[in-house]
A and B are shown apart, each in its own frame.
Chain A
Amino acid sequence: MNHGRARCSARPSPDWGEPVDYIVLAQQIANGLVNGMTYVLIATGLTLVFGVLHIINFAHGEFYMLGAFFTYFAAQLLGLDYISAAVVATLAVAALGILANRLFFWPLRREHEFTILLSSLGLALLLTNGGELLFGADPKYVDSPFADSIVQAGQLVVTQQRVLIFVVGAVILLALNLFIRHSRMGKMMRATAQNPEGAALTGVNIRQVYTVTFVLACGLAALAGALVGPTAMIFPTVGSWAVLKGFIVVILGGLGSIPGALIGGLSLGVIEALAGGYISLGFAQAIGYAIIIIVLLWRPQGLFGTARRT
């Protein structure tokens, strides 16, 4: 369950007197923000699929798992360097998203939401256990040239890999935001989100919107997996971890809201880091679930979500 924690969370030794506490605190927050950015990447795809297509995709975490494993195998078998392996893996999983949509989601678009939820649960189990079959159950490490070198800012110490996670995450989110706001396809996606029938009537190709949404969502999850792979162990059951974190973030931020996913993800990362650092690791694991319970009861539409049908 410790996946996602840094392999090298280098930290200044805590016996330097009074101001050190602040450095430890800042270090925890920095670690939390990086973990949070991976949650944001995972949750953005989940929230996109819900926001545009009104589908809760239980299998979303499996694409994160596939992203990490594809990166590993692209590096091992094809001999690619880390960056190209990550790009290849992200593109491959995004392509798998097309297949998943065609087989599991598109044919069921007129069915009850439970049917789709159960179908995605089936897909999740297929991918987890299929992954265990193909990749083996033993944990693996993705090699990255950035994993062992550090960046130092003042007394804060962060590995280059973790800086990379944060920067790539931020850039991708910005690009996604521009895409949804200004591109033709982005506008079609927003129209579908508001009213699928109305959008179809005005000539929006719903089938294409489904495809693009799943490609984006699966690609984002895979990218998160490819980025986090070098900082933690990867194993085939990591998908359920990822989807649980994704659910916590989207509930926190509001299902369907991308800014909500950003704020929700970063907050969850920081809260977990602080809880883990100052209270206990077990508590850090449970606190995310406690947060969704409180949020769902207090504001079922999420902290940033607008009221919508449930």
Chain B
Amino acid sequence: MSNRIFLPLVIALALAVPFFTANTYFHHLMVLWMLFSLLALSLNVIIGYIGELSFGHAAFFGIGAYTAAIVGMNFGLAGIPGLLLAAVMAGLFGFVIGYVSLRIVGPQFAILTLGFGSIIYTITNYWVDLTRGPMGISNIQPLGLWGEGGVALTGARGYYYLTLFLVIAFAYACHALLNSRTGRAFIATRENAPLAASLGIDVFRIKLLGFVVATAVAGVAGAVYAHYLTVITPDVMSLQYVAALIIMVIVGGRGTIAGPIIGALIYVVLLELLRALGPLRLVIFAALLTASVIFLPGGIVSLWRRLTGEETKPREAAE
């Protein structure tokens, strides 16, 4: 099926889905799916396009969430200004952290981002005056246009459309990026950094650009998450979430656009289906990650290509 028919169909389906059922629990799951899709897509920019493993991505999600919550609470700006500020804050942290850590590659980069993520997590836990520490912030206002008053998003359906819009916009941006000069520079950097540098690509700048974009988008996802759930605790930055995001990207298929979205769907669906199993469900997730790494390095998406017999585009082939 060609993309020209397929994509609008998927988008139309996504737009129509909330009307199939009035079940708000179902709507809630859809919102979570879209939020995790946005996060996984942003992490995919780092893992799939830059070709580095970041173990600190959940921290930027948390920074966005806390920025939106604090700005909304203290300045009454729970709306577009809050979202923008969350993106700026997360992107700023991303810039500083990326600027220092992208000089290092491979496993050391993974450990370094893990260190930065852990520092942010620890500070959030201990800076009680600002973040209320482990108690977290509750009663965050719903998302409005410009502070309080005026329209405010309350129901899950509204948040679903907002997050769906964000996912489509960011997925399109990723698609456009990959087909641009900058995008080709990304891929060249991922495949062979010294060679890319020899062709005149400023490898460090390209990596930093990707890192900052990824962290800023994670910040937006965090802000929407905070307004949607109205409660936020430092736990969103914990290793559990870092691992969850990595699982989504790897199991779905890194370096592709559909992969992280499918990965997020699998995560949300399995999390709900296996809720009764308690800790066992995380064991299943871990097994899924390991099995995917060993037997299906390209993720679920590569299965699709294998089935339809389409040639793997070298551009999107996961390393």
Contacts and interface: CB of A to CB of B under 8 A. Distances in A.
Interface of A: 1, 56, 104, 107-108, 111-115, 117-119, 121-126, 128-130, 132-133, 137, 240, 244, 247-248, 251, 255, 280, 282, 285-286, 289-290, 292-293, 296-297, 300, 310
B287 A121 contact: no
Nearest to B117: A289
A296 B108 contact: yes
A218 to B, nearest CB: 18
Nearest to B103: A297
B290 A123 contact: yes
A216 B218 CA distance: 40
Contacts of A137: 279
Contacts of A122: 286-287, 289-290, 293
A247 B109 CA distance: 12
A121 B246 contact: yes
24 contacts: A108-B294, A111-B297, A113-B107, A115-B297, A122-B290, A125-B283, A125-B286, A125-B289, A126-B286, A126-B290, A129-B280, A129-B286, A133-B279, A133-B280, A286-B122, A289-B118, A289-B119, A293-B100, A293-B101, A293-B115, A296-B104, A300-B103, A300-B104, A300-B108
Contacts of B282: 125, 128-129, 132
B145 interface: no
B272 interface: no
A251 B111 contact: yes
Interface string B99-135: 0110111111011101110110011011000000000
B162 interface: no
Given A113-B106, A122-B287, A310-B108, A297 B246 contact: no
A245 B224 CA distance: 34
A27 B112 CA distance: 32
Contacts of B280: 129, 133
Given A117-B110, A122-B287, A285-B122, 19 more contacts: A56-B107, A113-B107, A114-B319, A119-B293, A121-B243, A121-B289, A122-B289, A122-B290, A125-B283, A125-B285, A126-B286, A129-B283, A133-B278, A244-B114, A286-B126, A289-B115, A292-B111, A296-B108, A296-B112
Contact of B294 (A119, A124, A130, A133): A119
Nearest to A291: B115
The B interface, classified by DSSP as helix, strand, loop or mixed, is helix
A22 to B, nearest CB: 29
A254 to B, nearest CB: 11
A310 B115 contact: no
A271 B287 CA distance: 38
Contact of B283 (A111, A115, A130, A282): A130
A117 B289 contact: no
Interface residues of B, number: 39
B208 interface: no
Contacts of B119: 286, 289-290, 293
Residue among A121, A286, A289 with the highest chain B CB neighbour number at 10 A? A121
Contacts of B110: 56, 117
Contacts of B115: 247-248, 289, 292-293
B157 to A, nearest CB: 34
A121 B246 CA distance: 10
A310 B290 contact: no
Contacts of B101: 293, 296
A118 B246 contact: yes
Nearest to B281: A129
A126 B287 contact: yes
Nearest to A54: B107
Contact of B100 (A104, A128, A282, A297): A297
B250 interface: yes
Contacts of A130: 283
Given A115-B297, A119-B294, A133 B108 contact: no
A199 B248 CA distance: 39
Contacts of A290: 119
B70 interface: no
Interface in B238-283: 239, 243, 246, 250, 278-280, 282-283
B290 A104 contact: yes
B105 to A, nearest CB: 6
Contacts of B243: 121, 125
Contacts of A108: 294
A49 to B, nearest CB: 12
Given A125-B282, A300-B108, A289 B116 contact: yes
A244 B118 contact: yes
A272 to B, nearest CB: 13
A112 B122 CA distance: 32
Nearest to B243: A125
B105 A126 contact: no
Contacts of A248: 115
Given A286-B119, A289-B115, A310 B287 contact: no
A129 B280 CA distance: 7
B185 interface: no
B78 interface: no
Nearest to B242: A121
